[in-house]
Amino acid sequence: MTMINLDGFFKSAFTVDNVIFGFDEGDLKVLLIKRGEEPFEGQWGLPGYFVKENENLDQAAVRTLEELTGLRKVFLEQVATFGGVDRHPSGRVITVAYFSLIKINQYTIQPSSIAQHAEWVSIKDAKNLAFDHGDILKACFNRLKLLVRTRPVGFELLPPKFTLTELQHLYEAILETDLDKRNFRKKILSMNLLIDLDETQEGVAHRPARLYKFDKKKYDELLADGFSFELKESRRKIAEHLQN
């Protein structure tokens, strides 16, 4: 725990908290831990902990995520700082929030340290979290809603091969609104960022759908030429969600 004790300043500490998003069976989820120590022992919260004296914030975020959940080599992006005076019962604690998008089926959760348990929880069920973790989750979710309209970050949550229906369900889960099937597919396909694998689903009860994959190389080439990935549909609804 990093402490400062200078004349005219408060004694304080720094923590990092990680918001890890995943998508599974049509549902957007967040990784939570059940705390094994006070304060808020036995309550669900985000995986995070104190920053050590000999590490920077990014290093602390990576370390605490691995210690509490077993997740390694996860790219974490810094989102915001939360410094409410009374946000931590033990004293003045400032936290820096990070977020990431991962494919759930590519990682195995192994809770340890202060994490009694770790579990993927649906965004809509992630309530009554420890500290101000509800506010932190909301801030990161709002960032995701903005990013998904301007960058193809949604593909980070899907398996390498996916259907257009799965892609639409992902965007609907993030944006919390229904999208017109015809318009969505027309917009996505017009970007020429998907590779038609000339394959269909296997082992499904319904009519097998075509499989696609994201063309990262093509996207990077287009981006260098000034390409803008933007989903304009439901802009008003998205703005309304961000205000709530």
The string of pLDDT tens digits covering residues 53-72 is 999 999 999 999 999 999 99
* Containing structural domain, residue 208: 152-243
The domain that holds 179 is classified in CATH as: 1.10.10.10
At 168, phi and psi to the nearest 5? Answer: -65, -40
At residue 1, the pLDDT reads: 46
Does residue 90 carry a pLDDT above 60? yes
The mean pLDDT value of the chain amounts to: 88
> Confidence band (pLDDT; 50, 70, 90) for 244?
low
Do 17 and 116 belong together in one domain? yes
Single-letter code of the amino acid located at 17: D
Tally of domains within the chain: 2
> Confidence band (pLDDT; 50, 70, 90) for 232?
low
Do 124 and 108 belong together in one domain? yes
Do 47 and 130 belong together in one domain? yes
Residues 6+ apart with CB under 8 A from 67: 49, 112, 113
Single-letter code of the amino acid located at 35: R
At residue 5, the pLDDT reads: 45
pTM attached to this predicted model: 0.86
